[in-house]
Amino acid sequence: MKKIAFLFSKSPYGSSKCQDLLDLSLSISFYFEEIALFFVGDGIFQILKNQNPKKIFSNNFSKSFSVFKLCKVSNIYLCKNSLKQRGIISYKNFFMNTFILNSKLFKNKLDLFEAVINC
């Protein structure tokens, strides 16, 4: 069976692309056993808790990431360098459990997947 990675690299608001990728990844998680979620750059903001997008007239779809627990998706990776660049020092502020990898390990892990879908 094909191994599919979803790469979230954009901020959660300002476009519907990231929400579309979230919806796609949730749908595919029911059909494929080996999927993973990768968060890099501004994409790390996708899974931060305590967001208040109503101030910018947006919906908070990020809470939907917690559904992956029900789908038994546990391969969730964050780029440590992206966290550091954005001043995020607490690794407990996310909707789900994650693996935090440096840039090299992050890329190596991503290269293990046959298909990568990016937003």
Domain at 99, CATH number: 3.40.1260.10
List C-alpha distances in Å: 110 to 38, 45, 79, 89: 8, 19, 11, 23
Q: Would you place residue 26 in the very low, low, confident or very high pLDDT band (cuts 50, 70, 90)?
A: confident
Residue 17 φ then ψ, to 5°: -60, -45
- The rounded distance, in Å, linking the Cα atoms of 43 and 65 is 13
- The rounded distance, in Å, linking the Cα atoms of 5 and 52 is 28
Give the SS3 label for residue 67.
helix
Residue 38's domain spans which residues?
4-118
> For a pLDDT cut of 70, what percent of the chain falls above it?
78
What's this model's pTM, rounded to 2 decimal places?
Answer: 0.84
More confident residue, 63 or 44: 44
Instruction: Evaluate whether 44 touches 51 at the Cβ level (below 8 Å).
Output: no
Q: What is the pLDDT of residue 12?
A: 78
Q: How many domains does the chain have?
A: 1
